[in-house]
Amino acid sequence: MVRLRDLSSWDRQHILNADVPAIEGRPWVAGPTSAERRVAIVTTAGLHRHDDRPFTPGAGDYRIIPGDCAAQDLVMSHVSTNFDRTGFQEDLNVVFPIDRLRDMATDGLVGSLAKFHYSFMGGGTHPAWMRESAEIVAGLLHDDDVNTVLLVPV
Amino acid sequence: MPNDPDFQRRVVKSALDLLGNDDTPVLVDYTEEAPATAKSGDEGEGWVCPISLPAQVKDPKEETIAEALSREIAELAPWYELAVQKSGRTTVGSSGFDVSAAGEFIVSFLSDGIPDSPIEGERVDRVLKWACDDLKAYYYEAILAQPGGPSSLDLDEWFFGQTTAGSVFFGVQKVLLDNDDEIIQFVGKERLIPRNQQHWSPLD
């Protein structure tokens, strides 16, 4: 895993200085058993389908990725020019591990996958700017009977 | 770790297993290191691009930088097409331009200054960023399909230091920095060239 000591001094300070909201209390609920998990991915890789509008700087909105979307239908419009895109260029699963979840569903390690997954812009967007969209997405996930979300920060 | 399903699966499973914890908060390291890869940069040996591209501009009297960029894009086309054939996908496509049109749009900043946005309702600097991402992805995908896997740093050094496209990016950066619009200046400063490649800038 990436560690602070492995980052450039600029990146290290950037992360250490991040304005991270404090979370009050301990909002935790026990998860369902593996076989009962219906899993969705929420990634902040700025992924979207070819015909979706690309993300813009500071965007707090989201894009919907259908569960049966093929890798060749997805592109990335993440605003940062500094992070390494080569992993994504070689393998979508680096930022959107959909094939791994499909394998795990086939093997019974998770119950099922969501009909839809979601993508946000992870660079230059304060988490508070995503709040309205996040509440909408939470409702959509609930309507899809999703009880487990895999957050993939990029 | 790309193209390593077993490693990816262990990472995802480990994350999902955290949901079985009753005691909170749950904040644990994933202790398994990513498998080592035979990237050339890891050994301290210089990576050499397996695709031999001619000089960036053959002769300024005979070839403009726009023509040189167009030629370079054409020379990479067979390798890019091979890459798409191999992987079954491409990450080029954010701007909606094909790669030649993306290159023409980007290089137009050098001769004409800041053009009108080619996409109605979108700021020209946003379209420029998407076009730059597409052009860069085209170059990187063409090389990533070659044997002898370069590291991402190798690719950045090659693109920004040795290609016509890289020199066009630096030229466009200067045009943006010289503009009065603060947002356009910001895009020039932060959105075109990675921090670790600014050392190729002719402005330094």
Tokens encoding B26: 């749950």
**Would you tell me how many other CB atoms lie within 10 Å of the CB of residue B162?**
14
Residue A45: phi and psi, rounded to 5, are: -85, 0
With 0-12 CB in 10 A as exposed, 13-18 as middle and 19+ as buried, what is B54? exposed
Tokens encoding B148: 């002898």
pLDDT of residue B103 exceeding 60, the answer is yes
Average pLDDT, chain B: 89
- Model's pTM, two decimal places? 0.90
ipTM, 2 dp: 0.92
Closest residue on chain A to B30 (Cα): A1
Give the model confidence (pLDDT) of B186-197 as tens digits: 999 999 999 999
Q: What is the band of A124 on the pLDDT scale with cuts at 50, 70, 90?
A: confident
Q: Which residues contact A129 (CB under 8 A, 6 or more apart)?
A: A58, A59, A60
Q: What is the band of B203 on the pLDDT scale with cuts at 50, 70, 90?
A: confident
Q: Domain map of chain B by residue range? A: 5-37, 50-200
Q: What is the band of B125 on the pLDDT scale with cuts at 50, 70, 90?
A: very high
Chain A positions contacting chain B at CB under 8 Å are 1, 8, 10, 26, 28, 30-31, 34, 37, 39, 50, 54, 56-57, 70-72, 74-77, 79, 81-82, 84-94, 97, 99-101, 103-104, 109-110, 148, 150
Report which of residues B57 and B89 the model is more confident about.
Answer: B89
pLDDT for the residue numbered B9: 97
Report which of residues B53 and A55 the model is more confident about.
Answer: A55
Give the Cα separation of B69 and B10 in Å (integer): 43
- To which H or E segment does residue A134 belong? helix A131-143
Residues paired with residue A38 on neighbouring β-strands, in sequence order: A112
Report which of residues A46 and B145 the model is more confident about.
Answer: A46
Give the model confidence (pLDDT) of B30-73 as tens digits: 989 888 765 544 455 667 777 777 666 666 677 899 999 999 99
pLDDT for the residue numbered B114: 95
Coil, strand or helix at A150: strand
**For A100, which of B5, B29, B93 is closest by C-beta distance?**
B5
Give the model confidence (pLDDT) of B8-33 as tens digits: 999 999 999 988 888 777 888 898 98
pLDDT for the residue numbered B112: 82
Give the model confidence (pLDDT) of A8-38 as tens digits: 898 899 889 988 878 788 777 878 888 899 9
User: Is the CB of residue A119 less than 8 Å from the CB of residue A43?
Assistant: yes
HSE, side-chain direction, 13 A CA sphere, residue A70: 6
Question: CA distances (Å), B125 to each of B119, B132, B145, B194, in order?
Answer: 11, 10, 30, 17
Give the Cα separation of A146 and A125 in Å (integer): 26
Give the model confidence (pLDDT) of B153-162 as tens digits: 999 999 999 9
Nearest-CA neighbor of A146 among A120, A119, A110?
Answer: A110
pLDDT for the residue numbered B53: 74
Give the Cα separation of B53 and B72 in Å (integer): 7
**Would you tell me how many other CB atoms lie within 10 Å of the CB of residue B10?**
14
In single-letter form, the type of residue at position A29 comes to V
Count of CB pairs separated by less than 8 Å, A with B: 109
In single-letter form, the type of residue at position A71 comes to A
Nearest-CA neighbor of A62 among A137, A151, A144?
Answer: A137
Indicate the pairing of strand A116-119 with strand A74-76: unpaired
User: Is the CB of residue A31 less than 8 Å from the CB of residue A148?
Assistant: yes
Give chain B positions within 8 Å (CB) of A86.
2, 140, 144, 152, 155
What DSSP designation does A13 have?
H
- Cβ of A100 within 8 Å of Cβ of B16? The answer is no
**For B130, which of A54, A87, A94 is closest by C-beta distance?**
A54
Interface residue B8 vs chain A (CB under 8 A): yes
Average pLDDT over residues A62-90: 94
Q: Tell me which of A89, A96, A104 to substitute to probe the interface with B (most B C-beta atoms closer than 10 Å).
A: A89
Question: CA distances (Å), A133 to each of A48, A121, A127, A129, A130, in order?
Answer: 16, 12, 10, 8, 5
